[in-house]
Amino acid sequence: MKKPLSISRRTLLKATGAAALGIIPAGTLLVRAAGKPHPKALQAKNWAMVINAKLCPPGCRICQEACHKVHNVPNMPDPKQDVKWIWPESYNSAFPYETHPYTDQANEKRAYPVLCNHCENPSCVRVCPTKATFQRPDGVVMMDYHRCIGCRFCMAACPYGARSFNFKDPRPHIPQLNPAYPTRTPGVVEKCNFCDERLAVGQMPACMEACPAKAILFGDLNDPASPVRQALASNVTLQRKTKLGTRPKVFYIV
């Protein structure tokens, strides 16, 4: 019951695609298909992210491009029905009602990357009528695209606008297909997955690896020695909409 069939199907599809390209050695494939972790898999008690927005130059979209390429996120023609996992917003938009007209102009222009906050108390998980969105023991809030019925209760429940719905078939709008990651069907919700598929094979999140300014840190919030905890201990940081009690795990150095 805990491990739905659809996950293993997804894993299998992914694995088949990767095997076709020879990305993952066949031995690893068998191990993964059998449900055993990859020997290099990164593990944590509570994954979290710190974004040093001071290092984010205006107009930068490198993290978005990297993430969307890896995860087959489409460029939908209608921006109102677009699909996004991570994207830049202005400070005013990322932190609405926590601003005033006289703030630092340089800060106003910075591109604050916003994404799923992988909340410790996620309202999206609470409202999902099929457990298609769920929280893993390591704190990652995940989506099962094969179980989602597309009711969009989670989109209403997410106070961060982090969830996207596939209003139309995304496949024709994927600029460059990555066969190692599944594409989605119309009618399901999707969002950032903290790169669970990369963590599982020992890689850090794609946005973090791509960032030339090293503005993104990723690590275990429960480990005092992790880069995330060190950054939190030595900087003033903000989370989005803390008063709602969701306990977001994406922190911003401003």
Partner 1 sequence: MLEHAWNETGPRFKAWLAALLLLIGIGGFCYSIQLGTGLGVTGMSRDVSWGLYIGQFTFFVGVAASAVMVVLPYYLHDVKVFGRITVVGEFLAVTAVIMCILFILVDLGMPSRLLNIMLYPSPGSVLFWDMVVLNGYFFLNLLTGWKVLEAEYTGIKAPDWVKPLIYIAIPWAFSIHTVTAFIYSGIPGRDFWLTALTAPKFLASAFATGPALLILISLALRRFTGFDAGQEAVRRLSIIVTYAMSITVFMILAEFFTAFYSQVPSHMYALKYFFVGLYGGNSFVLISWIFATLCLLALILLLNPKTRGDETWLTVACASTFIALAIEKGISFTVGGFITNPFGRVTEYWPTAVEVGIVVGIWALGAFLLSLFYSLFVTVKRRSERGIA
Interface stretch with partner 1, choices 20-28, 33-41, 126-134, 220-228 (CB under 8 A): 126-134
Number of residues that bind partner 1 (CB under 8 A): 51
Q: How far is the CB of 120 from partner 1 (least distance, A)?
A: 13
Beta-ladder partners of 133:
143
Q: How far is the CB of 238 from partner 1 (least distance, A)?
A: 15
Q: For the segment 11-50, give every residue that binds partner 1 (CB under 8 A).
A: none
Residue choice 128, 192, 195, 216 for contact with partner 1 (CB under 8 A): 128
Q: For the segment 185-244, give every residue that binds partner 1 (CB under 8 A).
A: 185-189, 241, 244
Cβ proximity to partner 1, 29 vs 154, nearer residue: 154
Burial group, residue 25, by CB count within 10 angstroms (0-12, 13-18, 19+): exposed
Beta-ladder partners of 253:
52, 237
Residue choice 57, 58, 224, 245 for contact with partner 1 (CB under 8 A): 245
Measured CA to CA in angstroms, residue 73 lies from 3, 76, 89, 170, 193 at distances of 25, 9, 18, 8, 12
Q: Which residues contact 169 (CB under 8 A, 6 or more apart)?
A: 185, 186
Residue choice 40, 126, 136, 247 for contact with partner 1 (CB under 8 A): 126
Q: Which residues contact 248 (CB under 8 A, 6 or more apart)?
A: 117, 118, 119, 120, 160, 239, 240, 241, 242
Q: For the segment 131-170, give every residue that binds partner 1 (CB under 8 A).
A: 131-132, 147-153, 155-161, 163-169
Q: Are strands 47-52 and 250-253 parallel, antiparallel or unpaired?
A: parallel
Residue choice 7, 13, 89, 235 for contact with partner 1 (CB under 8 A): 89
Cβ proximity to partner 1, 22 vs 59, nearer residue: 59
**Does the footprint of partner 1 cover residue 97 (CB under 8 A)?**
yes
Q: Are strands 189-190 and 133-135 parallel, antiparallel or unpaired?
A: unpaired
Token pair listed for 120: 């410790």
Backbone angles phi, psi at 38, to 5 degrees: -60, 140
Chain contacts with partner 1 (rule: CB under 8 A): 4, 78, 80-84, 89, 92-94, 96-97, 123, 126-132, 147-153, 155-161, 163-169, 185-189, 241, 244-246
